[in-house]
Amino acid sequence: MAKKALCIGINNYPGTHMDLQGCVNDAQDWSAALLARGYKTTTLLDDKATKAAMVDAMSKLIASGSKGDSLIITFSGHGTYQPDEDGDEVDGLDEALCPYDLQTKGAALTDDEIKAIFAARKGGVRLLLIADSCHSGTVTRAAKAEPDADTRPRFMPMGNWLPASKLPKNFAGKAAQTMVAPNGTSPLTGALVKQVGDLLLSGCKEGPNNYSYDAKISGRYNGAFTYYALKTLKALKPEATYADWYKAILKSLPSASYPQTPQLVGTAAARSRKALT
């Protein structure tokens, strides 16, 4: 049984004026933790994490998996949404991950594209998706600040990267920079196949006004979710399940500084499986 992981972290988003600070650390920390647990890991950081590179790396990871293999993808960076072009979204929006060249190339990695990549997966491959990003909101809500806290949400409004010609229109007939209360489903959620082994562990709930935060904890930048997920992972008993891990994370989040509630999506069988096996 092979164990492989792809860890993506993007701080720098040229042209958007919305750079982050903890995402590269997240990817490196996930990679180190997974290496210690027997995973062969690959990282894509900042300018290496273009949309083309993300598609290529995800596709190669999925293609390499055989029955019984365990594959993990972690993503730390901005989430976003854009107008749905094929009519498959009730709210008229496609949720997406933001690659490094989001603004310079003008293309996010949408839920439809990710679903197509994952559809090539062989039967019996176990897939864990770890997302420290958010996919809805107007970036107007801020957490209560503490001296050592950074309250930057990991959400990229459409108006920061899409040209005006591609933005939806608001009630005044002008280009809308954001939309009101989109469903905000993670683009990784739609890629899950409802079978034993598939799980999504993410930094915040789905839906409007739920954010994953860039954090500064003990003088170092991380995603708040990544920091506490890895901290609790170290303390888990060897036989601990994904459900046990998730329960442990909820003891730290939400907090006064980071009012985000992580979520675990998957079948009961998947949730009860031994973590990271």
Is the confidence at residue 158, as pLDDT, over 70?
Answer: yes
Q: Which residue is it, tokens 């562990």?
A: 201
Q: Tell me the pLDDT of the chain averaged across its residues.
A: 84
Q: What percentage of the chain has pLDDT greater than the value 70?
A: 79
Confidence of residue 170 (pLDDT cuts 50, 70, 90): low
DSSP reduced 3-state for 191: helix
Confidence of residue 87 (pLDDT cuts 50, 70, 90): very low
What's the DSSP call for residue 116? H
Q: How far apart are CA 184 and CA 175, in angstroms?
A: 20
Residue type (1 letter), 72: I
3-state secondary structure 205-240: CCCCCCCCEEEEECCEEEEHHHHHHHHHHHHCCCCC
Among 7, 23, 98, 134, the active-site one is 134
Residue 221 forms beta bridges with which residues? 216
Residue type (1 letter), 90: V
Q: Which has the higher per-residue pLDDT, 54 or 93? A: 54
> In the predicted model, what is the mean pLDDT of residues 62-69?
95
Q: Is-contact 233 246, C-beta < 8 A?
A: no
Q: Is-contact 43 7, C-beta < 8 A?
A: yes
Q: Which residue is it, tokens 């900042």?
A: 46
Burial of 2 per CB tally in 10 Å (0-12, 13-18, 19+): middle
Annotation marks residue 135 as catalytic? no
Among 78, 98, 135, 204, the active-site one is 78
Annotation marks residue 78 as catalytic? yes
CATH class of 3-271: alpha beta
Domain residue limits, the chain: 3-271
pLDDT of residue 161: 78
pLDDT of residue 94: 75
- C-alpha R_g of the chain: 18
